Structure 1
């Protein structure tokens, strides 16, 4: 990716660090170089890391933008993070063997989660259907949700405001916190084409002639996971990294949580550790993840198949090459429901969302579970017609769902109930028919989404080497090419230049040996100067304390600082990383 094997290694190393540290959020180049030099091991100079970022920019991996004041920031495109994650963090941990004794639990003490929570797909179906049964959700004159009606609808969601805080931030803790889950349900419904906005209300589309998402509920959860990762997780890099990492685990298999965390480089001291814990808890709150214990070890497993790719368009689930959504290959070509003679309707798990949406329109819900049940009643039929469904479509919908003619008793009951009910045309005249043609264009956004580049313009320029190292052209070539003895004032000038460029010095003391030194400050020491920094071996980055004169060492273990007298440095040379070479 950058010049030479060492350059490529540093480029990939820097990309891994950037993905984990910043995710899709923009960052300042100088700040990132300094932070990376402190957090990466073995020791790296900010200069090496700036050059590594330059290589990433030339390769088109890292992009730049400028705000209205001209300040430049760098960022990784959000739509490419999942692909880079799978490449850079290829070592996915192995699940525990089948038959391991796991005791389900509320999760680690640091991020306890609920047990037995319904998957988000069911919570949303219930909320969307309730909104439709009520004829929509009215808006106030200033476009806000009708508070009392919204609070009633929000009861269908099991999510508490504090459970949404990692994804929604302040929006989950403000005065309207009770509606945060409902806001999320409305936005996701709009994304899938289930809900839309008219001038005065939020409305649900009719199931008659449904042409939107029609996968199973399990596939809907996979799509919802993808939408949450894409739209809401990027605002917190730690949360985003956790979502990408955990999304690569197999569903319905137990994993050791600590082992999983370590496999993706998320140690106890990583800045993104809080985001990791927050995503674990969020996944449990969405009904997607279970916690357990194997002895004293904490375990996790997905109860749905997570998906982190980007759908081709709203409502369309894109499955990565070589993978599959469970059940797709094995389900019947036309999954059917079972209509009993008493008009109870049994819905197996493989029935698609479109048919479930139509059943919610015409029948009363008894249980929404892995296998759901409904019942057709006089009241449900009358409500369906009131909302604009033609009476004859009720029986037709049931026949389509069952795949065969209905029992005679069921057909007779439906005809009796609907004999005196208004026709669909009358309901439409009364203004009850829900038509997508009346919806206002554009997505329904009620919650803040991270848009850090909203006021920025793309910056396609790539800095030259002289920009990375200001004044390079005026530096004597020997300072960069030869390790030699210089006058004390020249050594001080070279030390100041190394500090300005945030690069290292090659030092060869009079007593023999040599080492690479990363200066961090130049301090007055009586009539002379003291250079404070860290020591490393130029070949492999390891600390080389034995090469430093004993009377010059404050401490030379790990990342502790070393103080060297400028007068006794011996032969020195400025070290600059090589020019990056385009590889992609």
Structure 2
């Protein structure tokens, strides 16, 4: 779950307490939102500098072990305390402090179990701050010696998705009664993409399996629904268009879209698998377009993240975002996009110093060249009017008569198609192109074949009366000759009612829907067989059917979810000291204040209590030891306790505690004892 969704579900009391935290309150007063504050790198650095050592170290271990996946509240204490340095009690208290700071959040299952998690879009920030990867890229001379992987060029994911979404727009994607795409239609759309099942193997767990839907198409459906480009209707999937482009993507270049797609991929797929997420977060710290040695990067990554390294860079390469190669027989790789976390490295211009998108070039031979910086909206409209020839660094389209016929069916005429091409190329078309298009459109769009509802009238006089009636005429689309009308399908009931009122009951002919040959409509620009536009050439069209089927929530998507935290209620309570340390109220205060000598049976009680609380003991007054008891052995007054010594005076407050290893202390060696608890919450 991402931070914004997490905060939107917080109980008011928890949110108010969070907003009252001094570091957060100061930024809220500056006009920042809570989401902006808790995802801000400067705030994170300031918190880490001010927080107690146990909280920072606990967060470091949580991010390294669990990344953005949820974990049971008892799990860090059980699994991470054994690494040495921190006691279970310190981890337990640190988790409460991390929740108070808005870093870790909690939900409660129906049966009372608490799940904790770091939001999917902030876990990477904390990993980069607390577990940084600082790989030195190859030098200029070394980079000249790199031999890039000779595999075929891979399109960036943004263009792969655009091809699939365009296929859905052209051909449709019906679904079966079980809600899955028809196999033949699914295979046709999937063939629009170069991605294979093997390419998507690292995230196959998050996508419906190939027996249900090809994995490349599953990816296109999930991200299309997530970004609102696609809508799922009762009969299938459809494209949601706005301003002649996929919703929200009109003005974005592929590079800009790929940055957002990377964020979505990390939060939707990698966040479900800790090794993948750890690798993804670590690699995003590396500068783009610089070669790095795999061995250097792996050596600095958290141990668990190393298990996802090869899978993640393989996926990034398949999506065109990374490139792999060899340097002196050693594997190297580099980013082809700027993958840095926005909070750590805000994106700059993607298309050179000016940041202006590039334009297409329409050549006299009807070829259309599409440079890499052309926006997705421009490419989307090209998919309507031209045929894709090649998809590469520079893509190529071609104007054909068959393509113009298909464009005509979507409402384009000569004038509107010409206007679109001139707008996208920012200049007039070559004379040879204009001449060819005019030649083709002399025959295209002259005829149209449509199903219609006819109203047949027995005589011309009655037809004239109907045509003159203000109520009836609103239900009529067109008059044919002297005694027939085309009826608007949605107004049939209203027309029938009105004619009955006029005293002319209607006989419904079961074969009354007839074909009509006609001349087509004039488009806005004046061409034949064109379409009305809204705002721009190739504008937005919306029918009443679109209103009948509201889109699903983009968050629902098409992906499988291992952890759906949204089904659980946010935990409204933070545990207090009595809950963290059961029986604390009844313990003699001297046991917690300073080391003292006690009867052997009392010492045994102190040790048993420390073991139950998973906390440390201070042994001795001068030259004392910090000892974490783990197991008590022996009789009532002759016993031995096994545990580990942690030497805290020998390390700085910013570093993990050093561990002196396992030891065993006898009753005689435990002269003075005191239970050590973390400071007050």
TM-score by length of 2: 0.72
8 Å Cα contact 2:207/2:558 also seen in 1 = no
Tell me if the contact between 1:385 and 1:424 (Cα under 8 Å) persists in the aligned partners.
Answer: no
Partner residue, 1:62: 104
Q: Which residue of 2 aligns with 1:97?
A: 139
In structure 2, the gaps of 5 or more residues are: 1-22, 24-45, 453-514, 516-530, 532-539, 653-657
Alignment match, 1:249: 286
2:277 to 201, 216, 240: 240
Once the two structures are TM-superposed, the CA of residue 496 in structure 1 deviates from its matched residue by 0.7
* Cα distance, 1:300 vs structure 2: 2.0
Match of 2:264 in 1: 227
Give runs of aligned pairs for residues 312-461 of structure 1, distance below 5 A. 322-327=346-351, 329-332=353-356, 335-422=358-445, 435=541, 437=543, 438=546, 440-442=550-552, 443=554, 445-461=557-573
Query: Which residue pairs with 1:23 in the alignment?
Result: 67
Rounded to whole Å, the distance in 1 between the matches of 2:243 and 2:579 is 63
| 2:187 corresponds to which of 151, 163, 169 | 151
Tell me, what secondary structure is at the counterpart of 1:143?
Answer: coil
Q: What is aligned with 1:312?
A: none
Moved more, 189-198 or 295-304: 189-198
Task: Return closer, same or farther for 1:339/1:159 CA change in 2, 3 Å cut-off.
Answer: closer
In terms of mean alpha carbon deviation, does 146-155 or 275-284 score higher? 275-284
The answer to whether the 8 A contact 2:55-2:95 is kept is: yes
CA distance in 2, matches of 1:257, 1:31: 32
- d(CA) in 1 for partners of 2:160 and 2:278? 26
- Pick one of 203, 216, 240 that aligns with 1:181: 216
Counterpart of 1:289? 322
TM-score (norm 1): 0.83
Q: Does the 8 Å contact 1:165/1:171 carry over to 2?
A: no
- How far apart are residue 435 of structure 1 and its match? 4.7
Q: Over residues 548-583 of structure 1, what are the superposed CA-to-partner deviations in whole Å (9 max), with x where a residue is unaligned?
A: xxxxxxxxx967532333354222221112124xxx
Q: Which moved more, 1:123-132 or 1:181-190?
A: 123-132
Max radius of gyration: which structure? 2
Match for residue 675 of structure 2 among 574, 580, 583: 574
Which residue of the partner structure matches residue 57 of structure 2?
A: 13
Q: Does 2:589 match 1:480? A: no
**2:646 maps to 1:536:** yes
Cα distance in 1 between the residues matched to 2:604 and 2:445: 94
Counterpart for residue 32 of structure 1: 76
Verify: 1:562 aligned to 2:660, yes or no: no
Mind listing any 5+ residue stretches in structure 1 that lack a counterpart? Answer: 107-112, 310-318, 543-556
Q: Is the 8 A contact 1:505 1:517 kept in 2?
A: yes
Q: Which piece of structure 1 moves more, 360-369 or 52-61? A: 52-61
For 2:349 and 2:79, locate their aligned partners in 1 and report how far apart those are by CA, in whole Å.
40
Specify the SS of the correspondent of 1:445: coil
Paired residues of 1:95 and 1:253 also in contact (CA < 8 A): yes
In 1, Cα distance between equivalents of 2:542 and 2:267: 26
Map 1:450-529 → 2, pairs under 5 A: 450-508=562-620, 513-524=623-634, 528-529=638-639
Q: Residues 426 and 216 of structure 1: is their aligned pair in 2 closer, same or farther, counting only changes over 3 Å?
A: farther
Shift of 1:90: 5.5
Q: Judge conservation of contact 1:25–1:452 (CA < 8 Å) in 2.
A: no
Cα deviations by residue, 1:7-27 (Å, 9 ceiling, x for unpaired): 622212212222222233222
Determine whether 1:204 maps to 2:247: no
Residues 173-232 of structure 1: per-residue CA shift (max 9 Å, x gap):
5633x6121011122233444433343232335687336312112222222111111222
Which residue in 1 is equivalent to 2:331? 298
Q: Distance in 1 between matches of 2:329 and 2:571?
A: 52
Mapped contact 2:132–2:282 kept (Cα < 8 A) = no
Aligned pair count reads 538
| Closer, same or farther: CA 17–48 of 1 in aligned 2, 3 Å | same
**Partner Cα separation in structure 2 for residue 21 and residue 130 of structure 1:** 41
Q: Of 166, 173, 177, which aligns to 1:141?
A: 177
Q: CA deviation at 1:170?
A: 6.3
Moved more, 334-343 or 254-263: 254-263
In structure 2, relative to structure 1, the CA distance for the partners of 1:331 and 1:517 (3 Å cut) is closer
Residues 10-65 of structure 1: CA deviation (Å, up to 9, x unaligned): 212212222222233222222212222123x5x21111111222221222322222
Contact 1:364 1:376 in 2 (8 A): yes
SS in 1 for 2:214: helix
Match runs of 1:100-139 below 5 Å: 100-101=142-143, 102-104=145-147, 116-133=153-170, 135-139=171-175
Farther off after superposition, 403-412 or 122-131: 122-131
CA contact (8 A) 1:529 1:567 kept: no
Is the 1:150–1:182 Cα contact (8 Å) retained in structure 2?
yes
Q: For 1:196, what is the secondary structure of its paired residue? A: strand
- Deviations 1:423-460 (CA, angstroms, capped at 9, x unpaired): 79868989xx9955516322372221354313311123
Deviations along 1:228-266, one digit per CA (max 9) or x if unpaired, are: 112222111222222222123211111233333444x42
Query: Which one is further off, 493-502 or 240-249?
Result: 240-249
Shift in Å, 1:538: 4.0
CA gap of 1:33–1:389, structure 2 versus 1, over 3 A, is: farther
Distance 2:669 2:131 in 1: 45
